[in-house]
Structure 1
Amino acid sequence: MTELAGARLDALAELVAGGDVVVLSGAGLSTESGIPDYRGPSGAARRHSPMTYQTFTGDPVARRRYWARSHLGWRMIARAAPNDGHRAVAQLQRSGRLAGIITQNVDGLHQAAGAHSVVELHGSLDRVICLACGDVTARQELDARLRAANPRFTAAVTAVNPDGDVDLPDVEIDRFRPVDCRDCGGLVKPDVVFFGETVPAPRVRHCFDLVERARLVLVLGSSLTVMSGRRFVVRAAKLGIPVAIINQGPTRGDDHATFTVGAPLGQALPDLVRRATPAPAPA
């Protein structure tokens, strides 16, 4: 870490130590767990165009392609382990310094690291919802049904994307058989917000409420390219609430930030926790 980044972490730690911090995390927080982001330094997903809601619901061939790739990709994400960055966020929460955690990620790694009451802005890959009857089931159950429907599907994964999608050759996709809702036969999709889909209004309102009561908004690993997350940074800045961004590379929120720190999150966040949490006095 550079001397400048260290100095900024010192100043940021003073704000974090005061509490009432709201974390807004993005895909960059999970790259050190082996899940690449769309726009950051990992770069692996830049060749991949994420599925849109309109394509998923309107194109049966594209939907089969998605489920074939997601069937394998979800298994990799389900096996991913939280990294030092996730654990540092959970530690800040346990120390009482966080007023909320909002994540744009769908991988569940905040919770796996011990965090609670996490607002999953874009949903979670661990759940599946029927678009016809609204039934929500565990992804493990769908996985079992897809395995049963595709006993000879043995494609190998080369890389996984943040939405659980992977790259597969067409010959493997053509032989894959999706399944529908077990109750009504309707279309099922992961309980995540696809591109072109709207985040539920009550969830957005809850996030705005958290941000508006915060003393600091701490952005972790997000390029803030998509307005879905950037709007909370814009609101905080408009209200005069300090915004700090720790990310590798520039973001679309830098103009609104009081502090920007360019560093790997697995290194910077544990360091921030140490600086913001004084060691206990000797007995």
Structure 2
Amino acid sequence: MGAVAAKTTNDGAAFDRLCGLVAAGGVAVVSGAGISTDSGIPDYRGPNGALRRHTPMTYQQFTKEPGARHRYWARSHAGWRQVARAEPNAGHRAVAHLEQAGLVTGIITQNVDELHQRAGSRQVIDLHGSLSRVVCGDCGQVSPRLDLDERLSAANPGFRISGAPTNPDGDVTLSAEAVARFVMVGCRGCGGERLEPDVVFFGATVPRPRVAQAFDLVESARTVLILGSSLTVMSGYRFVLRAAELDIPVAIVNQGLTRGDSRATVRVDAPLGTLLPRLAVAVTGGERTPGPSRTVPSLALSGDSPAEL
């Protein structure tokens, strides 16, 4: 792999090289939280990352400590709406347009917001799962998050939270008093108490079949394009390492330094919501990028929730 070719979009050669790699097609995208910040979902490690004020719950805490699990659901019930209401931004739509143009072969996203799909992308691997689903740890039943949200709202009338910032994993920080008065519900199928969001917690491992699918996408790519990820954790960085082993060019677009910079063929430091539409226009002959493919129907059904964000 070559050294870092550029650090800002002011370097026209870097942007031109990025355009050349994408225009050749066969692009596997790996996206991180930075692509969703323009949709109102904060990231953990960016310039204003939430790790500065919030330590995410680990899988070990969630599964082994009933009190921690209760705290998670109280905080998640208060904050999930902001993630559910989020709309795809210009960056998501540009990636979807590149896929529709036949240049992007698939997307591996570390995000759990499903904004790529809602922007129109079809070949998406949700590496860390999705907040839109709930799994029962006792009977294995999978159910829509909307169903749980409606039951929690009914069980917690008057549970009002306003002004608290939402964290990247869709929860908010609550006082001990607010957590204590929160009432949790059980699985609709078996009544069990071990409901879990269908996401990969910090400290847990991504299911092997999902990882294998992601590696297949990377290994068959002509270019690996990193979008909005610091690559701090191995979950995303391993795809850069694999591309380097196979001598597949790696292009990085991110605000701030990343762990993969030394392995990048080209790097551009720029806001994705500005850079990606420009890139899409440049490599597809000026065609307009598509708008959101759909809205979130669940919101119309849950507008009377007492939670105020």
TM-score (norm 1): 0.95
Match of 1:199 among 206, 212, 235: 206
Alignment of 1:12-27 (within 5 A): 12-27=18-33
Match of 1:264 in 2: 271
Could you list the per-position Cα deviations for residues 207-226 of structure 1 after superposition, in whole angstroms to 9, with x for gaps in the alignment? 00000000000000000011
Match of 2:152 in 1: 146
* 8 Å contact from structure 2 (residues 105, 123) kept in 1: no
Let me know the Cα RMSD of the aligned residues.
Answer: 1.3
Please report how far the alpha carbon of residue 2 of structure 1 lies from its aligned counterpart in structure 2 after TM superposition. 4.3
Match of 1:253 in 2: 260
Match of 2:161 among 152, 155, 164: 155
CA distance in structure 2 between the aligned counterparts of 1:265 and 1:147, rounded to whole angstroms: 36
Match of 1:164 among 170, 176, 179: 170
1:238 aligns with 2:226: no
Amino acid at match of 2:15: L
Amino acid at match of 1:57: T
Please report how far the alpha carbon of residue 154 of structure 1 lies from its aligned counterpart in structure 2 after TM superposition. 1.4
* 8 Å contact from structure 2 (residues 44, 51) kept in 1: yes
* 8 Å contact from structure 1 (residues 21, 216) kept in 2: yes
Amino acid at match of 1:247: N
* 8 Å contact from structure 2 (residues 130, 199) kept in 1: yes
* 8 Å contact from structure 1 (residues 35, 161) kept in 2: yes
Match of 1:218 in 2: 225
Distance 1:144 1:82, change over 3 A: same
CA distance in structure 2 between the aligned counterparts of 1:15 and 1:211, rounded to whole angstroms: 15
Could you list the per-position Cα deviations for residues 68-89 of structure 1 after superposition, in whole angstroms to 9, with x for gaps in the alignment? 1101211110001111100100
Moved more, 173-182 or 239-248: 173-182
* 8 Å contact from structure 1 (residues 157, 168) kept in 2: no
1:54 aligns with 2:66: no
Alignment of 1:29-178 (within 5 A): 29-178=35-184
Please report how far the alpha carbon of residue 157 of structure 1 lies from its aligned counterpart in structure 2 after TM superposition. 4.4
TM-score (norm 2): 0.88
Match of 1:8 in 2: 14
Moved more, 245-254 or 167-176: 167-176
CA distance in structure 2 between the aligned counterparts of 1:127 and 1:55, rounded to whole angstroms: 20
Structure 2 unmatched runs, 5+? 1-7, 288-309
Please report how far the alpha carbon of residue 275 of structure 1 lies from its aligned counterpart in structure 2 after TM superposition. 1.7
Please report how far the alpha carbon of residue 167 of structure 1 lies from its aligned counterpart in structure 2 after TM superposition. 1.4
CA distance in structure 1 between the aligned counterparts of 2:66 and 2:243, rounded to whole angstroms: 41
The alignment-based identity, stated in percent, is: 63
Match of 1:229 in 2: 236
